[in-house]
């Protein structure tokens, strides 16, 4: 009995020790840092990578997350989601503008301000954080007398002022939270101000300047940061760096949301559907066109689309199609190509996210020419003479095979037909087909003795 009690206590004690060790292992930070490289515009792909890095670091109780950034800016929605993830993170997030020659412009400046520690490499810069209104249409110029009602003295509309004021308040809040220069943050938004790494350090916009990642880790060692009200001392000696590698989904999103790819997908989708509607039953163009168009629409959902540019593309394609039905001497087709080209240039509302001009030019020439050729081909098929069916038989010439009055047989195009005639017909006489009722021809004598076909 005592042996059983002793074994029971031993098992319970061992379980308690294992539980304490497991809890201690989870709560104790591991000597690991997750590195996320952000090289290019801020968008859904970079957002997913950064959030995955923060989630992995929290799950592993890692020491920190390092965002190595080189970005010209990007989408406001993705930027705010990234900043929300940084503010909610339970591990320190260090943003490092690197390598040399990189920048943290526009959305990158906001992310830099939101990070627990902001660092830059020499010969890098940040700033130009003035927001750009996306997804809208061009504003209509106002009359001089109504300028005060619609626009201020600085020429900005009420909507533009609201966007800028909101962005200024947002970045000032981030600066206050991290104890950084609020005045310059507002200048970056309102005046598109920029700074070099050394100037940013001098003006208390960033926390340190480091030549590379190794130098950054040396300067971070022993530094204290406030993470959600908890003071954390960074230890970087012997730190293991684990890189966040894009998975297949991130790679697929990166391909689809590339402006050039999205543009091509849209064209393939439109062309495929036009071919399918023009020739029902082919199936393949319709299937490919539908898939490509849906992928393009997904890309447009997350990209800064200018609706005026999209409307011009649609109008351009409509003009090209109208060329088939309206005799305009090529004016509609040419106007369609011009509208399509201009709309393609205006399609994206961000200078850092745009379709390349050579692609637009080549697509406009090849695609426009191909579309005109296809549509004219369809038009010629529509006007081609009928070669089968009842319509084909009307007006054809034939030869009487035997003498008959009323009903007999005639030969038309080498085929023997039953025919009705109100006149008396003789063998070898030429007749013309007036009508057809099922398989019986209504014929009349043909004055053309040579039997030429109509």
Q: What is the pLDDT of residue 231?
A: 93
Helix (H, G, I), strand (E, B) or coil at 255: helix
Q: What is the pLDDT of residue 135?
A: 41
Please tell me the CATH superfamily of domain 390-445, with its number.
Nucleic acid-binding proteins (2.40.50.140)
Cβ(135)–Cβ(349) below 8 Å: yes
The CATH code belonging to domain 28-246 is: 3.90.226.10
Cβ(398)–Cβ(411) below 8 Å: yes
For residue 154, the 8-state DSSP code is T
Question: Phi/psi at 353 (nearest 5 deg)?
Answer: -125, 100
Which tokens go with 95? Answer: 């943003």
Cβ(86)–Cβ(58) below 8 Å: no
Q: What is the pLDDT of residue 62?
A: 92
Does the global pTM surpass 0.85?
no
Other residues' Cβ atoms within 10 Å of the Cβ of residue 369: 12
Domain regions of the chain by residue span: 28-246, 250-382, 390-445
Cβ(72)–Cβ(96) below 8 Å: no
- Give the C-alpha separation, 332 to 320, whole Å: 6
- Give the C-alpha separation, 46 to 38, whole Å: 6
> 97 forms bridges with which residues in the sheet?
69, 120
- Give the C-alpha separation, 46 to 78, whole Å: 8
Q: What is the pLDDT of residue 153?
A: 45
Q: Which pLDDT tens digits describe the chain residue by residue (454 residues)?
A: 565 565 566 656 666 655 555 544 444 456 899 999 998 888 888 999 999 999 999 999 999 999 999 998 888 888 999 999 999 999 999 999 999 999 999 999 999 999 999 999 999 999 988 886 544 434 433 444 444 344 444 566 787 888 899 999 999 999 999 999 999 999 999 998 999 999 999 999 999 999 999 999 999 999 999 999 899 999 988 899 999 888 788 788 888 888 888 888 988 888 888 788 877 778 888 899 999 999 988 888 777 778 888 888 888 878 877 776 676 666 777 788 888 888 888 887 666 667 778 888 887 777 667 666 766 666 666 555 555 566 777 878 889 898 888 889 999 888 888 898 888 888 889 998 888 887 888 888 887 544 444 4
């Amino acid at each position: 009995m005592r042996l059983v009690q002793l074994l029971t206590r031993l098992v319970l004690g061992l379980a308690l020790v294992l539980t304490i060790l497991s809890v201690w292992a989870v709560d104790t930070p591991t000597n690991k840092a997750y590195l996320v490289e952000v090289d290019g515009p801020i968008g859904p792909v970079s957002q997913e990578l950064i959030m995955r890095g923060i989630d992995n670091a929290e799950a592993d109780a890692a020491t920190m997350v390092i965002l190595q950034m080189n970005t010209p800016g990007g989408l406001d929605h993705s930027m705010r989601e990234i900043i929300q993830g940084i503010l909610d993170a339970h591990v320190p997030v260090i943003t490092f503008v690197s390598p040399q020659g990189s920048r943290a412009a526009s959305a990158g400046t906001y992310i830099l301000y939101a990070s627990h520690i902001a660092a830059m490499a020499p010969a890098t810069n940040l700033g130009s954080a003035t927001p750009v209104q996306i997804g809208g249409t061009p504003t209509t110029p106002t009359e001089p007398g109504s300028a005060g009602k619609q626009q201020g003295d600085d020429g900005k509309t009420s909507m533009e002022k609201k966007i800028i004021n909101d962005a200024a308040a947002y970045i000032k809040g981030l600066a206050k939270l991290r104890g950084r220069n609020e005045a310059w943050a507002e200048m970056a938004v309102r005046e598109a101000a920029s700074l070099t790494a050394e100037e940013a350090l001098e003006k208390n916009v960033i926390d340190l300047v480091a030549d590379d990642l190794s130098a950054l880790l040396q300067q971070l060692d022993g530094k204290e940061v406030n993470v959600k009200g908890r003071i954390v001392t960074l230890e970087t000696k012997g730190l293991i760096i684990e890189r966040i590698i894009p998975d297949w989904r991130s790679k697929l999103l990166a391909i689809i949301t590339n402006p050039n790819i999205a543009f091509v997908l849209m064209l393939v989708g439109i062309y495929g559907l036009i071919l399918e509607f023009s020739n029902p039953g082919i199936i393949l163009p319709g299937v490919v066109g539908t898939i490509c168009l849906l992928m393009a629409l997904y890309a447009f959902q997350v990209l800064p689309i200018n609706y005026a540019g999209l409307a011009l593309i649609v109008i351009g394609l409509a003009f090209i199609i109208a060329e088939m039905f309206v005799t305009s001497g090529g004016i509609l087709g040419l106007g369609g190509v011009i509208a399509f080209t201009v709309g393609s240039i205006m399609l994206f509302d961000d200078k850092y996210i745009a379709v390349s001009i050579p692609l637009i030019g080549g697509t406009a020439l090849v695609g426009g020419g191909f579309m005109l050729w296809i549509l004219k081909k369809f038009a010629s098929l529509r006007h081609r003479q009928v070669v089968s069916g009842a319509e084909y038989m009307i007006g054809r010439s034939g030869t009487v095979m035997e003498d008959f009055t009323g009903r007999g047989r005639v030969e038309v195009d080498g085929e023997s037909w039953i025919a009705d005639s109100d006149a008396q017909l003789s063998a070898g006489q030429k007749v013309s087909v007036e009508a057809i009722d099922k398989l019986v021809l209504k014929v009349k004598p043909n004055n053309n003795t040579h039997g030429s076909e109509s």
